[in-house]
Chain A
């Protein structure tokens, strides 16, 4: 099992750092899947996560000037490792003014992801920073739980409003109620609702666009006024929104009535899918 990669471009490095920061906000521990052309950050829908799952995918050639990997075997040319996301984002943060950044899998008494950075310094000698991030290699038999989640046949698909606005609304709602209903219809209307004994608060977003429908989807022939809703934990939604430091290139939301809400974002060339299940 081998992995070495190098980022030589500052723009790519900053982008990778931002992605890593976002992952650190979305998950404490996550899985990194390394394959010949992609890197994936995965959070599987375990009870520990409250049923939330995440799938983030990036094309390695958009970031790395050099990329070599060898999976555990020829047929299974992939590597799955588990790490604390914050460790990676912190290591990358120190690479602000780097000439180059190298990542590789090492085994210094225990498996590590070693990030080594060549810093620009005023003097002629360069400064080298190394971080050994401890990781756990995930055995082959557990890989099946870490596959790309199937996007369910959704009832409503809608473009999200500005995420910062959503976040500030949800932040305030969190103080009032632990549960939140997110509902949307095919007319471009999305509501965030909370209900308590004393008060109900609803925030209405209108004129949101509707993404093109795939043919044969459940939402075809659906009354555009009809709302599909999901009742979810407000903290999970807030965690997702708080992770989006930068406004994404594309952000849409798919709802399966009373089942699950699926957020599909695109940050330049990195795709992020986040699933929050309905509370029973």
Chain B
């Protein structure tokens, strides 16, 4: 591979080849879409939207950090290329957190992707249904500092014949490091979330958020973001936890002028998973970009976003529903949620479900069912298994609707009490033909299925 390093800026176009030649007959589920991209150290500097020049000296670091951030959400990740760029997606087992890092084609020195495969002489749109285990890919992008120092070029290619991703590092002194990572065929999920329709939007520098994060121990499960037009407060959340008397309650309140952007339309408090916040913060610190937080009321998902010239990262997180009890003390929040929990358990038995199938993650651990993340030990069969319907193999472009997540009618929906709390996380399979398939029966979504994807008001990630 005696390729000279090509440093012309702007050489990052995406070339779609609609008639990608495929030898022989293939079943429709075989991956034939390909991805070929090349990262180069010290790529050209590019101006950012606000005029500052960004010096992307560390593309491997950014890629590696993106993978690490997504590993906070799940043990698996999809590589999902499209004309918009390469999307790295992951969803946690309980569908309460979703992450996507979209790397623009300009991020790569060379970005080539084909979206369809020729089958029986007919070009058929097909996604690269590539799901990688974090276990396989994290170690490859582990020692980021040494990667930055030694690697001159990194090539990532998917093969059309095997379910493998080839990752090659061309290092100094002629050393070439090759990894072949097998992937699982699985259609990526994506979340429909109208970021720009949220009434509350905050943008903050990672440094400020980092100072708030140190308040909490790593054992802190959930945190609450409380916002009023006068100030914003991040505090520890102890909903229903029995060891109230043993854990420290911490809060930090920050005034509006510490934010790059501050818009609070409605006073609100949303509680979400701390781990995911830390994951997004680490990523934003690595790329020196501010984090935007979009949220509304408890129960509605919120978004943590980074919007940059070359990449867009979004974590969509479910938030806890709270029984309306508007005192600000954390302990009363716990009590009110205890009430809510018992309601759910009753109604669960009413619907004739197997009551013992209360998800163990929900109930047994510290008697706090409203866990936003799964615990590690999910060996018992439970209602929660419904939510970890893993592989939604679809032939092509179909909507895979996860019934328990389309909880617009949260009260009656079957499924674990846990999941009913997380309304409005709508999942859909990524389709190569995006326009056609946005017909969700639930009225939670915009009815504008013909809406252009890029008008900002109705965005998919």
The chain A residues found within 8 Å of chain B, CB to CB, are 84, 87, 90-91, 93-94, 108-110, 112, 119, 121-134
Contacts and interface: CB of A to CB of B under 8 A. Distances in A.
Given A127-B258, A129-B253, A131-B249, 20 more contacts: A87-B248, A91-B250, A94-B214, A110-B244, A112-B249, A121-B258, A125-B231, A125-B257, A125-B258, A127-B253, A127-B255, A129-B215, A129-B251, A130-B252, A131-B215, A134-B244, A134-B245, A134-B246, A134-B247, A134-B248
B217 to A, nearest CB: 7
A114 B296 CA distance: 30
Contacts of A126: 255
Nearest to A129: B252
Interface string B256-294: 111000000000000000000000000000000000000
A98 to B, nearest CB: 12
Contacts of A84: 246
A126 B245 CA distance: 29
B256 A128 contact: no
Contacts of B246: 84, 134
22 contacts: A84-B246, A94-B214, A94-B215, A109-B244, A110-B244, A110-B245, A121-B255, A125-B255, A125-B257, A125-B258, A126-B255, A127-B211, A127-B252, A127-B253, A128-B253, A129-B252, A129-B253, A130-B250, A130-B252, A131-B215, A133-B248, A134-B246
A195 to B, nearest CB: 41
Contacts of A91: 248, 250
B254 interface: yes
Interface string B312-344: 000000000000000001010000000000000
Contacts of A125: 231, 254-258
A89 to B, nearest CB: 11
A123 B257 CA distance: 7
A131 to B, nearest CB: 5
A94 B215 CA distance: 7
The winner among B231, B254, B329 for most chain A CB atoms within 10 A is B254
Contacts of B252: 127-130
Contacts of A128: 252-253
Interface in B194-237: 211, 214-215, 217, 231
A104 B256 CA distance: 28
A132 B249 contact: yes
Nearest to A117: B252
B215 A108 contact: no
A87 B246 CA distance: 10
A91 B245 CA distance: 16
Interface of B: 211, 214-215, 217, 231, 244-258, 329, 331
B143 to A, nearest CB: 29
A132 B248 contact: yes
A128 B253 CA distance: 5
Nearest to A136: B245
Contacts of A133: 248
A93 B256 CA distance: 25
B248 A131 contact: yes
A183 to B, nearest CB: 42
Contacts of A112: 249
B317 to A, nearest CB: 24
Contacts of A93: 214
A158 B81 CA distance: 73
Contact of B331 (A108, A119, A124): A108
A250 B146 CA distance: 46
The 8 closest A-B pairs by CB, nearest first: A125-B255, A132-B249, A123-B257, A109-B331, A129-B252, A131-B250, A87-B248, A128-B253
Contacts of B251: 129-130
Given A125-B255, A131-B215, A90 B245 contact: no
Contacts of B217: 90
Contacts of A119: 211
Contacts of A124: 255, 257
Contacts of A134: 244-248
The winner among B214, B231, B248, B249 for most chain A CB atoms within 10 A is B248
Contacts of B253: 127-129
A126 B254 CA distance: 7
Contacts of B247: 134
A156 B407 CA distance: 75
Nearest to B247: A134
A112 B252 CA distance: 17
A134 B217 CA distance: 15
A109 B248 contact: no
B237 to A, nearest CB: 13
A125 B262 CA distance: 14
Nearest to A135: B245
A130 B254 CA distance: 12
B233 to A, nearest CB: 9
Nearest to A125: B255
A119 B257 CA distance: 15
Contacts of B244: 109-110, 134
Nearest to B235: A130
A106 to B, nearest CB: 11
A213 to B, nearest CB: 46
A123 B248 contact: no
Contacts of B255: 121, 123-127
Nearest to B215: A94
B295 to A, nearest CB: 20
A1 B61 CA distance: 55
Given A108-B329, A131-B215, A90 B257 contact: no
A73 B134 CA distance: 61
Contacts of B256: 125
A110 B334 CA distance: 14
Nearest to A116: B251
A132 B249 CA distance: 5
A109 B247 CA distance: 13
Contacts of B231: 125
A272 B248 CA distance: 27
A245 to B, nearest CB: 19
A132 B244 CA distance: 11
B247 to A, nearest CB: 7
A215 to B, nearest CB: 49
A119 B207 CA distance: 14
A109 B257 CA distance: 33
Nearest to A88: B248
A131 B258 CA distance: 21
A129 B250 contact: yes
A108 B252 CA distance: 17
Nearest to B253: A128
